[in-house]
Amino acid sequence: MTDTASSAATSATPFAFDLDNEVHARALGRLASERIAWFGSISRSGYPHAVPVWFVWHEGAVIILSEPGAVKVRNATRDPHVLVHLESGHDEEQLTVLQGTVEVLNDAATSWLPAIGEAYFAKYEHDLPPLKLTLESMAAKYSTILRVTPEKLIAW
């Protein structure tokens, strides 16, 4: 089991994955391949708020596209302390939770498409057409980017 944070929370230092660590390597693999994650934020009333999201792992961060007025966006704007939780894996024995801080980037999805579009489409190519979405129409509707920088990994 890994339950490690990178330095003090006040410094907001990104978590450093160690590729020689089997748990870290498996967590990175799952971040690249898993299709659904749970995004957890703190509501205005102080209760946890968790929703399933599509995401891509890009340059050490979880990237989520969201509608601008979504509760998760309002929560993240108010309090940047969030978590991203993956399902338990094919054998139901894996746990991957990232605690970190989120950067809310309004009207940014279109500008992010050159960087994440190919990976996003590859991951969700079978899901977009039934929803009558292209990458471009999705970026227009889900125009806010939530960029989660992990500071702590909890995994086994």
Given a cut of 90, whether residue 35 has pLDDT beyond it is: yes
In a domain, 24, yes or no: yes
CATH of the domain at 126: 2.30.110.10
State how far the Cα of 102 lies from the Cα of 114, in Å rounded to an integer. Answer: 21
pTM, 2 dp: 0.87
**Residue written as token pair 């968790």:** 50
Structural domains of the chain, count: 1
The token pair at 116 is 């994440």
Q: Using one digit for the tens of pLDDT, what is the confidence trace for 122-151? A: 898 888 888 888 888 888 889 999 999 999
In a domain, 102, yes or no: yes
In a domain, 1, yes or no: no
Q: Using one digit for the tens of pLDDT, what is the confidence trace for 78-111? A: 999 999 999 876 776 778 999 999 999 999 888 9
Per-residue pLDDT at 89 = 67
- Structural domain including 89 reads 18-155
In a domain, 117, yes or no: yes
In a domain, 125, yes or no: yes
In a domain, 9, yes or no: no
The DSSP result for 66-96, as a single string, is E-TT-HHHHHHHH--EEEEEE---TTS---E
Task: Find the distance separating the first CA and the last CA of the chain, reported in whole Å.
Answer: 4
In a domain, 13, yes or no: no
In a domain, 54, yes or no: yes
